[in-house]
Amino acid sequence: MADSGAAAAKSGAGEPAPTPVAIAISGASGRVGRRLLALSAADSGLRVTHALVSRGSSSDGEPVGKLAPEASSLDVRATSRGLGSGPTVLVDFSTPAACVEQATAAAELGIGLVIGTTGLTDADMGVLRKLSDKVPVLVAHNFSLGVNLLCRIAGEVATALGEGFDIEVVEAHHNRKVDAPSGTALGLARAIAGALDRDVAKDLRCGREGPSCKRTPREIGMHSLRMGSVVGDHTAHFSSDFERIELTHRAQSRDVFAAGALRAAKWLARREAGWYTMDDVLFGGRASV
């Protein structure tokens, strides 16, 4: 018969369960916010303390189960009254103005910040940078683990190949997306440009039209497709006269963004004040989560 003590030790029986990371979700009534609620409810490593919505929101005061049926088990109501004590990390997918307001309030309470809000200005980013002197702050345009790996790998491929390869970035999104190119595609182009000591401001070319479109040696082409319900596809093409390499990431569900943000929140909960990126989550010193 197997040693029961050894079996218990191997299985972890008798060890206390890790304390869940307490998080507040800002922008809880938004598309990503609802998925954050749903995925958090299914994650024993997380505990939602606040679900923040905008002032005047019809969701104010409602149980979060009305925002996301999968979150019905959470004993939390949406609120526009702001943060109180309790959370270790604020996960923000709101609006630029709300983001800066909530982040500033959170930092005063010693709460870490995971920021996925888009449309932040240079001034907004400056505020967040300053807050990183007080608390850990992680800002990302895309929380997909695969996209962040793609950017890393594309930079390494560009370094290994060096000059002599034409580079094109192609992104595709649903037909309701209003901006182009996507922030993720620009981030991918920056990763490649940085590896080759190129300047995105000078060497990035968005689209081609007209009788004189011959590419320059240092050019990084960028092309945007808008069609159907595509969640998000990004491909980096490297082509010489003899071969072509294509690196592609395809998002199959918008849950990928919420899942990545929640992973970042659990990681950030164990970090000191400072400025962090998803590269740190994937490749930096890892916390036990």
Domain of 171, CATH number, reads: 3.30.360.10
Count Cα neighbours of 277 within 13 Å in the Cβ-side half-sphere: 10
- The answer on pLDDT for 99 being more than 90 is yes
**Rounded to an integer, what distance in angstroms lies between the CA atom of residue 153 and that of residue 174?**
25
**Rounded to an integer, what distance in angstroms lies between the CA atom of residue 32 and that of residue 39?**
10
Q: What is the mean pLDDT of the chain?
A: 92
pLDDT in tens, 33-62: 999 999 999 999 999 999 999 998 999 999
- The answer on pLDDT for 4 being more than 60 is no
pLDDT average, residue stretch 220-233: 97
- Identify whether residues 94 and 114 lie together within a single domain: yes
Q: Which of 123, 139, 155 is the last residue of a domain?
A: 139
**Rounded to an integer, what distance in angstroms lies between the CA atom of residue 118 and that of residue 138?**
13
**Rounded to an integer, what distance in angstroms lies between the CA atom of residue 200 and that of residue 195?**
11
Q: What is the CATH number of the domain that holds 48?
A: 3.40.50.720
- Give percent of the chain with pLDDT exceeding 70: 93
Angle of helix 255-268 relative to helix 145-161, nearest 10 degrees, comes to 90
- The answer on pLDDT for 286 being more than 50 is no
- Identify whether residues 154 and 76 lie together within a single domain: no
Model confidence, pTM: 0.84
The residue segments making up the domain with residue 245 are 145-208+216-252
CB atoms within 10 A of CB 69: 12
Total domains in the fold of the chain: 2
Active site residues: 173, 177
What pLDDT is attached to residue 14?
A: 65
pLDDT-derived band at 284, boundaries 50, 70, 90: confident
- The answer on pLDDT for 13 being more than 60 is no
